[in-house]
Structure 1
Amino acid sequence: MSKLTDSLVYAAFAAGWAVVRKLPERVALKGFEVASDFVWWRRGKSVRRLEGNLTRVRPEATPEELRQLSKRGMRSYLRYWCETFRLPDLSAEEIVERVVVHGEAEFRQALAAGKGVIAALPHLGNWDLAGGWACATGAPFTTVAERLKPERLFDRFVAYRKLLGMEILPHDGGAGVLSVLGDRLREGRFVVLVADRDLSERGVEVTFFGEQTRMPAGPAALAVRTGAALLPATLWYDGPQLHIRFHDPIERPAGRQPIVAMTQALADVFAETIAAHPEDWHMLQRLWLADLDRTRVPVG
């Protein structure tokens, strides 16, 4: 990315952040809905990829049903950005009011056990708002973020999330990141990891909606190494509110490959909620191995 492009991207985000925060909420949300419909209508690369992913979730859907589903999906995705831009201006009480939690008692019980808790979640709903809820209710956490470009945009997102109470580690931090996460869990603390897309190409191969893909090994590996509880967490919108569901812990199975089995168990839980709320799954990138293989250049 050139310096000029870096500057334009940063300026666009900065302007959006400033303007959206000053608008009345209803006006801001309506503006983002109109923008999402325009993006959807143009049918660019991201929209086509979203539809390609949704065909795995809803294989029985007609082309028109799939198009309408992708339209709702883009509205949900742009809603995420609108809420994220406005989140720093919400009080802790306002954040809590916007969230409905299922399985909170089990989550609090796992935290109170003092062995650490890992919440693994897919790209569903608004994970920033969910993180704000956790911090506002006495569960600050450590997480890993994909490094954005330009660098100062990544720094701004880190600063914003720190303001909410999160500790952010860069995804490209190597083995040191896993070491820090392990330390936090051994201290009995809370770690949150988005876990439905592998960025390393070294993830665990799982079956997801009947096809093969890779998901990060990190959540299961950390649970095995530290003894922390591994809780799948899923998110979805229902009207004005975000729902968070903490599922039953993924137990370490007997056998020689517990990380593989635990990661598959996470994938199964993710698939259940994504199937129920596909419009809130913000997966606009290639995910399945069959799609990734098509992008590789043949050798020889």
Structure 2
Amino acid sequence: MTPSKMTLAGPAILFCPADRPDRYAKAMERADSVIVDLEDAVTPEQKQAAREHLRAWCEDPKNHTMLTADPVRFIVRVNSPSSEFFADDMQILQSVPVQIVMLPKTESPEDVDRLVAELPEVAVVALCESAAGVARSLEIARHPAVVAMMWGAEDLLASIGGFSSRLPDGRYRDVARAARATVLLHASASGKASIDSINTDFSDTSGLAEEARDASDSGFTFKACIHPAQCGIIRQAYAPTPEEVRYARDLLAAVNESRGAVNFRGTMVDDPLIRHAENLLRRSGAS
């Protein structure tokens, strides 16, 4: 599969620290895709050990077979191109069968070029988590190696001098919401998948469910998470209810039977509402 044709498995994408190889398989059992993290989840002192753990795990025959057969479920987040750790990450990834790489703190198409120069065959998930990255996210999304876009809140707020991405009630501040919408729109405009950011409070299950449902309804292809217990909540939020599926089917049936404008249950149905119904059925897997 060429990088431009690569997709991810979703909707629940789980981060896993690269220095905890004992968690790799467990993460893959719980999530649709796993991001093995060499960046924020690993201290500088543990980064080389984490790389060696990653290599050993990938070289294990049973894992190697899985990676070859189902590469879209295993993503590695490297350190940023400006980091002192980037070169060593590139060296280790040249020797393992990883086909999708997440590039953190992506701020320009040139950052993607630096990664692709080292790993020409990989598909790239560009993580925009600074003011510069969000501002140039359309250019980044248009890069041919990029298959998905993700945004990040905490690094974004740090980059603009803030210190909290959320209000006391857990909702995002307006600046974070603006970045979230910008990356989503630019990913969609470029025909690329989109990943909603993590919710770090894994004890707030109702807040996560609300946020994941909003991500699904807004058009995010996937949502990332940091705890295995969050995967089921995300899947449930992304799954349309039986009532929603029935409504969408009935609406499309009424449209197909009509020769003109349709008044469906008190609502005039136009093309956007038809596409909403089609998107919902597509998301549900129903026909």
TM-score normalised per structure 2: 0.31
Task: Choose between structure 1 and 2 for higher RCO, CA contacts under 8 A separated by at least 6 residues.
Answer: 1
TM-score normalised per structure 1: 0.30
Max radius of gyration: which structure? 2
